[in-house]
Structure 1
Amino acid sequence: MKKLLEVLGKAGLDGFLLMIGIMILLAYFLPQPGMVKEPVSLEEIAGVGVSLIFLFYGLRLSVQKLKSGLANWKMHIVVQLTTFLFFPLLVLASRPLFVNTDFELLWLGVFFLAALPSTVSSSVVMVSIAKGNIPGAIFNASISSLIGVVVTPLWVGLFIASATGDFDVTAIVIKLVLQVLLPVIIGISLNSRFGATAEKYKKQLKYFDQAIILTIIYTSFCKSFSEHLFESFSTLELAGLAAGMMLLFFAVFFCVGLLSRLFGFSAEDRITVLFCGSKKSLVHGTVMSKVLFQHSTITGIILLPLMIYHALQLIAASIIAKAMAQRKEMS
């Protein structure tokens, strides 16, 4: 096991991705625990966990740091427009190819991925490795997460009704406010008192986040496997999905790089734009799916493109970041 983790680490991955694979296998071979409703279901536990994730996230957000990060506004605008406008529009352009086909649900999963905020921790890590603008990366990743609470549901809500046959706007908004937005606001308001403590125990909080994410993935795939939703997809088709996710990553990476050069950003700022603009958050995607696709059996399929993209973006970004760092050292 230790050797396997070392190999994964060299490829830019970690044990968490291995655990995701284990959860999917567990859902396939042992789905019963994920379907139990009484006395308390794993879904209900995960629901409480989602609120706690956003509460702890808010606790670690310093309003002062966010204000100080506003100075480099051009870079921030490029990153956020890439994350929430260019990314979704790029995937939206491909929709006519998938309407009324067996792959329409997979397309919805890819669109859900495209509408998500940028990932926080790995974006900052990659920017650090590549020797980019680290404060800018922290600011953009943090702001992206806050914007995503509002923008992601608005984008995905355009297509949920046709995919699930049910989209109660009022219920979704109330659930988002109570389960996501309110905990973040409470956390931010308590930052001055408990922010240092939350920062001190960020490693433990990361494990808590991962435990909740794994629980959501397990219960989602239990539902999907019980409905035999994956039986219509062949291995070749899933491999095609993986190739599509890699193509999507490099298309955005290339376009963002070109845009940052046109704006005349410094080398450090270009690195930050590249990694923050091209990455998507598995954490927010998983917990958002819990809110947006509540009680839906299609959640496993919706999350599949995101999990594949997450793994591939880590591998690709890690290799690129290390290559950038080496070029800087040699120059």
Structure 2
Amino acid sequence: MRRPLPKLPSWLLVDGYVLALVGTVALAAVLPARGPAATVAESTSTGAVALLFFLYGARLSTREAMAGLRHWRLHLTVLACTFVLFPVLGLAARALVPAVLPPALHTGLLFLCLVPSTIQSSIAFTSLARGNVAAAICAGSFSSLVGIVATPLLAGLVLHGSGGGFSADALLSIVCRLLVPFAAGQLLRRWVGGFLVRHRKALGTVDRGSILLVVYTAFSAGMVEGIWHQVSAPRLLGLLGVEAVLLAVMLTVTSYGAKRLGFPREDRIAITFAGSKKSLATGLPMASVLFGAQAGLAVLPLMLFHQMQLMVCAVLAKRYAATARPAAGTAAAPAGAAAGAGREAEAGVGGTRG
């Protein structure tokens, strides 16, 4: 009788979408787009990014986001962690260049610190930990909304001196390829919102496929430009170590800082998960606009951090749940919620739906 295959430990959550991203990177390494194929891939990727941000804008319920303003202290705390503390830590990491991190990887790490928080995974982990899910939804929405403007502006301030190649042309490209489609989605939400809800599963596939195309185009350009000769295995290990410290610091600050600020337990959980995480779905398209041919190397820290935050937060959420007092008539969130938490790209900014 054949024995069943051993199960992976519950903390070892390798998200299926992350595996698809790794496969896309491998494909770009073996078969990068060159010549006319690269031109077609770049044009298609540009259209895919515009479509993504149109869908993000069309899905974001401004009414729901505004309804959460009563938790303004919580949202300001999350925004401060996302767009102030994270960038400060990223700038401080420059002291590790070049001993631990090469300049290109530090630029990617700094970009990671500028992107907005997640929505979908923050909601899933907050629910699993029995925290304030409504606050997590609104906090993620505000972070994503603010990030559409704040991330490019912060990039203009801090990446110009870090080899980010940010310029007025890049800012104009951000406006045309990200802000304009996002604003159009918000304006047309009244008419297309119902269609998006009815076809959310199919459109989730479009989201994921579009981001995979962006990744393939970026890493193909990197292969053609030869940027991967700048990275060695010891450098990647150094990057992982730096990101582990970064995540540990942010989890500690959000958890204990929220407690010192007097937030109740449920709100502290939402702050911990929303304030310590970074969005792969929003960051990848932005990087393709900001970095061009250098985007492949620039998004590597974000891709690694994304998987790391899923694994660590899954363990943390279960510990929160184990120490929670069960509310009357309230069932614990299913453990499987954490396994699918990483699929933020399925909803993007539209994670507020439902």
TM-score (norm 2): 0.85
- After superposition, where does 1:38-53 map in structure 2 within 5 Å? 41-53=40-52
Q: Give the match for residue 105 of structure 2.
A: 106
What letter is aligned with 1:58? G
Q: Give the match for residue 18 of structure 2.
A: 17
What letter is aligned with 1:135? A
Displacement of 1:189 = 1.9
Which of 282, 298, 305 is matched with 1:302 structurally? 298
The 10-residue stretch of structure 1 (71-80 or 173-182) with the greater mean CA deviation from structure 2: 173-182
Displacement of 1:165 = 8.1
Displacement of 1:318 = 1.2
SS of residue paired to 1:41: helix
Displacement of 1:329 = 5.3
Structure 2 gap ranges (5+) = 328-354
Q: Indicate conservation of the 8 Å contact 1:8/1:15, yes or no.
A: no
Displacement of 1:302 = 0.5
- Per-residue CA deviations over 1:127-148 (Å, capped at 9, x if unaligned) read 1111111111111111111111
Displacement of 1:215 = 1.2
Q: Indicate conservation of the 8 Å contact 1:55/1:186, yes or no.
A: yes
1:325 aligns to 2:321 (yes or no) = yes
In the alignment, the residues of structure 2 paired with residue 306 and residue 166 of structure 1 have an alpha-carbon distance, to the nearest angstrom, of 18
Q: Give the match for residue 247 of structure 1.
A: 245
- After superposition, where does 1:1-331 map in structure 2 within 5 Å? 7=8, 11-31=12-32, 34-37=33-36, 41-98=40-97, 103-162=102-161, 164=163, 166-169=165-168, 171-294=169-292, 296=293, 298-328=294-324
User: Aligned pair in 2 of structure 1 residues 101, 82: CA closer, same or farther (>3 Å)?
Assistant: closer
Q: Indicate conservation of the 8 Å contact 1:79/1:276, yes or no.
A: yes
Q: Indicate conservation of the 8 Å contact 1:108/1:159, yes or no.
A: no
Task: State the number of aligned residues.
Answer: 323
User: Aligned pair in 2 of structure 1 residues 96, 275: CA closer, same or farther (>3 Å)?
Assistant: same
In the alignment, the residues of structure 1 paired with residue 266 and residue 140 of structure 2 have an alpha-carbon distance, to the nearest angstrom, of 16
Displacement of 1:251 = 0.6
Aligned-pair RMSD on alpha carbons? 2.4
Q: Indicate conservation of the 8 Å contact 2:219/2:295, yes or no.
A: yes
The 10-residue stretch of structure 1 (160-169 or 113-122) with the greater mean CA deviation from structure 2: 160-169
Displacement of 1:113 = 0.2
User: Aligned pair in 2 of structure 1 residues 232, 308: CA closer, same or farther (>3 Å)?
Assistant: same
Q: Indicate conservation of the 8 Å contact 2:11/2:315, yes or no.
A: no
In the alignment, the residues of structure 2 paired with residue 194 and residue 226 of structure 1 have an alpha-carbon distance, to the nearest angstrom, of 40
What letter is aligned with 1:180? L
User: Aligned pair in 2 of structure 1 residues 246, 102: CA closer, same or farther (>3 Å)?
Assistant: closer
Displacement of 1:161 = 3.8
Q: Indicate conservation of the 8 Å contact 2:94/2:106, yes or no.
A: yes
In the alignment, the residues of structure 1 paired with residue 76 and residue 101 of structure 2 have an alpha-carbon distance, to the nearest angstrom, of 37
Structure 1 gap ranges (5+) = none
Q: Indicate conservation of the 8 Å contact 1:95/1:107, yes or no.
A: yes
Q: Indicate conservation of the 8 Å contact 2:29/2:219, yes or no.
A: yes
Displacement of 1:18 = 0.8
- Report percent identity of matched pairs: 33
Q: Indicate conservation of the 8 Å contact 2:101/2:238, yes or no.
A: no
TM-score (norm 1): 0.90
In the alignment, the residues of structure 1 paired with residue 69 and residue 196 of structure 2 have an alpha-carbon distance, to the nearest angstrom, of 24
In the alignment, the residues of structure 2 paired with residue 7 and residue 195 of structure 1 have an alpha-carbon distance, to the nearest angstrom, of 39
SS of residue paired to 1:256: helix
SS of residue paired to 1:293: helix
Displacement of 1:195 = 1.6
In the alignment, the residues of structure 1 paired with residue 123 and residue 221 of structure 2 have an alpha-carbon distance, to the nearest angstrom, of 34
Displacement of 1:57 = 1.1
User: Aligned pair in 2 of structure 1 residues 218, 159: CA closer, same or farther (>3 Å)?
Assistant: same
Displacement of 1:83 = 0.2
Displacement of 1:225 = 2.2
- Per-residue CA deviations over 1:98-154 (Å, capped at 9, x if unaligned) read 169971111110000000000111111111111111111111111111111111112
Displacement of 1:299 = 1.4
